[in-house]
Amino acid sequence: MNIFEPRLPRRSRKTLLPALVALLGVLAPAGCQRAAPTPGLRCSLLEFRPNPVSHYYDAVVRLEGVTIKEPLKENFQVMTPTSAFDLGSLKFTVEGRNTARLEPGDVFVVPLKRPDWKFSIMGAEAEYCAQNFRDRLPPEDRWHPTKTEAMDVARSIEVVNEHGASKPVPTLLPSEWRLVNETTPAADNPVGSSLYQKLRGGRTVEQVEVQYARLTEEEKAQVAAGLSTSFLSSWSECATSGGAAADIAGHAAVACDLEGVGEFGWTYRYFYVSSDLVVAVDVQSDPEELGKTDQEKEQERRTNQVFLRYGYGPLGREEWQVMIELRMDRTGTFHKRPKGGETVDKDFKVGDEEFTAVEKALAGNNFIELESRSAAGPGFESFISIRDGDQARTVQMKNVREPRFENIAGTIRRIVLPKVDENDMQPTVR
pLDDT digits (tens, 9 = 90+) for 75-106: 999 999 889 999 999 999 999 889 999 999 99
Say what the pLDDT of residue 176 is: 87
Say what the pLDDT of residue 147 is: 94
Other residues' Cβ atoms within 10 Å of the Cβ of residue 83: 15
Q: Residue 175: CB partners within 8 Å, gap ≥ 6?
A: none
pLDDT digits (tens, 9 = 90+) for 5-51: 433 332 232 222 222 222 223 333 434 455 566 678 999 999 999 99
Average pLDDT over residues 49-70: 92
Say what the pLDDT of residue 30 is: 39
Task: Provide the sign of the torsion angle of the four alpha carbons 221, 226, 227, 229, taken in this order.
Answer: positive
| DSSP per-residue string spanning 165-213 | EEEEEES---TTEEEEEEE--BTTB--EEEEEEEEETTEEEEEEEEEEE
State the pLDDT confidence band at 369, using cuts at 50, 70 and 90. confident
Say what the pLDDT of residue 143 is: 92
Say what the pLDDT of residue 35 is: 55
The region of weakest confidence among 319-328, 369-378, 411-420 is 369-378
Range 177-210 burial, b when 16+ CB lie within 10 A, else e = bbeeeeeebeeeeebbbbbbbbbbbbebbbbbbb
Which domains can be identified in the chain, with CATH numbers? Answer: 10-31+143-291 (3.40.1000), 41-125 (2.40.30), 302-420 (3.30.1560.10)
Nearest of 206, 418, 200 to residue 307 by alpha carbon: 200
Stretch (H or E) spanning 289: none
Say what the pLDDT of residue 90 is: 95
pTM confidence score: 0.67
**Which residue type is seen at 387?**
R
Higher confidence at residue 36 or residue 380?
Answer: 380
Q: Looking at the predicted structure, is the pLDDT value of residue 193 above 60?
A: yes
Say what the pLDDT of residue 428 is: 60
pLDDT digits (tens, 9 = 90+) for 282-302: 999 999 888 788 888 888 877
Angle CA 412–413–419, to nearest 5: 100
Q: Looking at the predicted structure, is the pLDDT value of residue 391 above 80?
A: no
Say what the pLDDT of residue 28 is: 37
The region of weakest confidence among 13-27, 350-364, 381-395 is 13-27
Three-state SS for 346?
strand
How far, rounded to the nearest angstrom, does the alpha carbon of residue 290 sit from its chain's CA centroid?
A: 14
Mean of the per-residue pLDDT values of the chain: 85
Q: Looking at the predicted structure, is the pLDDT value of residue 169 above 90?
A: yes
The region of weakest confidence among 15-24, 117-126, 412-421 is 15-24
Average pLDDT over residues 345-355: 93
93 touches 61 (CB < 8 A): no
pLDDT digits (tens, 9 = 90+) for 231-254: 787 777 777 777 888 999 999 899
pLDDT digits (tens, 9 = 90+) for 135-148: 999 998 999 999 99
pLDDT digits (tens, 9 = 90+) for 123-138: 887 899 999 999 999 9
Average pLDDT over residues 179-191: 89
Say what the pLDDT of residue 2 is: 56
CA dihedral 24, 26, 32, 35 (to 10 degrees): -100
**Which residue type is seen at 5?**
E
Q: What share of the chain is helix, strand, coil (3-state, %, to 5)?
A: 25, 40, 35
Q: Looking at the predicted structure, is the pLDDT value of residue 151 above 50?
A: yes
Say what the pLDDT of residue 207 is: 96
